[in-house]
Structure formats: C-alpha cells, structure tokens
Amino acid sequence: MHVKKFGIWGNTDKKIFWDILPDILSWASKNKLTPFLTKRISEKSSFDFKIIKSKNDFIKMDFMLALGGDGTFLSLARAIQNRGIPILGIHLGDLGFLAKVTLKDLFYRLDQVANNNYFVEERILIKSKIIKANGIVEHVALNDFVFANGESFRMLNTSVNVDGHFVGNYKADGLIIATPTGSTAYSLSAGGPIITPKVDSIVITPTSAHTLTSRPLVVPGISKITVSFSEPADSIRFVADGQVHEILDPKSKVEIVKSDFTVPLIDFRDTDYFKTLRVKMGWGKRGDQTV
C-alpha cells in the first residue's frame, strides 16, 4: 500500500516533541504526504494543517505516528481501538518496547514507510467488563489491567476463575492481568514471565504475594478470566494500561477476555524483539559484556 496520509499523535508536554515536529512536517511535504494533527497539537501550535477532529477520522489515515514514549503509544492504541490503523512509535527518550524507533533513525524509518518497506505486526488487546451494582463499564488495554487495594497498606484478596474453573485466592498487594505485550511491563517487575508477542496467551501475576505458593499463571488467549473480591475491603483500584482508573467496591466482579480486534504495529525486517530485550534490559548479559 502506498501511503498518502498519516496522523501525528504526540506527547505535547515534551519540548523535544515541538523541536522535531517541524522537521516531520517538512519531510511530509517533500514526500508529498498529507499530515493530520490532533486537536491537542493544533490548539497548542500555529501550524495550519488538517485536523483529526474525532476518532472516526482515524480511518482516513494510512498510518499513525506516535511521538513520545510507550505511554503515548498505549493511549493511541486505545483511541484507535478496532479501526485497524498501523502505528509507528517514535521514542523521544530512551529505547522503548512499543515506541521502538529513536530520533537518530527517525527519518530513515519514515522513508521506509513511505517506500512501503515495512511490515505490520498484530498485537492482541484484552477487554474487561466491570460489573458494578449501578451498571457495567468496559475497557480495553494493550498492556495490562491492574487491581490494587484503595488503601495501599492493606492486602487485596482476589478470587480468580478461568473458564468457570476456580484457580484460587490471591492474597497479595495486587493482581495484574497482562497481554504478551504487557509481559515486559509491570508484570515483569512483579516476577511474571516474558511472553513473546506471537504467543496467544494472557498472564495472571500477583504483586508481592503474601504466600509463597502464589505464582504467575499463563493461560490460553481464548480464556475468560473472572476476578472477584473477598471482604473486608473498602475500595479496589482498577487501572488499564497505567492510565485509565476506576474505583470498584468489594461486590464488583470483573470479566476479562481477549479483545476481538488487534492493534497493528509497524515494524521492519532488520529489527529483532530479542535484541530489544538485550538493549533495553541487558537481557542475557553478564557484567560488562556488550550486546
């Protein structure tokens, strides 16, 4: 597919975003591409370009450019949802897992996209249905859903079922339900496994479990995970991708399944997931060994 139009979604709080934006717009003009800016970017600048006025405008784009970090990428993925628009993540700081492209090779990668020299990798999302006394709330996440007690000093007691089968009670500071994409985020820091993106699965990871027998559990991607809570508990915090927050009461129940749509990530033939692990995390390195 020859690209003609693309959207720009960015972290406008970063100075480097405003420093690099004029160069990207100049690159678009040179390559006869039409850039679209979000309303937030347009309102904070004097650039006179086409505007992404609503989520439905995403379908006009051949791809979206996410300028920021992994958090910026996550917010864009949730906004696009099922519209199937490929995302190219540009990290404005250190190397990220989702925003893989750095400023150093930004225009080299953009040229590759303009020349159709890229491929698309589909990433699964998970969907939650929160059943409260006053109604139902739904969210999607590319990385994870996190449960924690509203009072941080208290233990959270969760009951987990998978496909109607009782798994167990997790007595811990919290509980993480993560995708393979999210397995390298909070779940990993809580002792969960790294799951490569092509593995169709969901991981259940307790945080600071209060029993030695509570361990992370990987279940098939087709599973339906149900989380409920044991009293006493005053309130439970529910967080999607570290960005969207809900307060639950102890009588709430949360059902989590794989979403029926995926998010397409733009990637390149010369990139390597395991190299990203080694560079980002020092994976498999000892002492001062080089990558």
Pair of tokens at residue 154? 């208290």
96: Cβ contacts below 8 Å, ≥ 6 apart: 69, 70, 73, 89, 280
Separation of alpha carbons 186 and 193, rounded Å: 11
Pair of tokens at residue 123? 């990433």
Of the residues 23, 57, 70, 234, only one is catalytic, namely 70
Phi, psi of 263 (to 5 degrees): -110, 125
Q: Which residue has the tokens 């989590």?
A: 256
Helix (H) or strand (E) holding 171: strand 165-172
**Cβ neighbours around 99 below 10 Å, total:** 26
Separation of alpha carbons 204 and 170, rounded Å: 10
Among 263, 229, 232, smallest CA distance to 248 is for 229
Separation of alpha carbons 62 and 286, rounded Å: 43
Pairing of β 87-91 and β 63-68: parallel
Separation of alpha carbons 44 and 291, rounded Å: 41
70 is catalytic: yes
Please state the separation of Cα 109 from the chain's center in Å: 21
Crossing angle between the packed helical segments 15-30 and 106-114, to the nearest 10 degrees: 40
Active site residues per annotation: 70
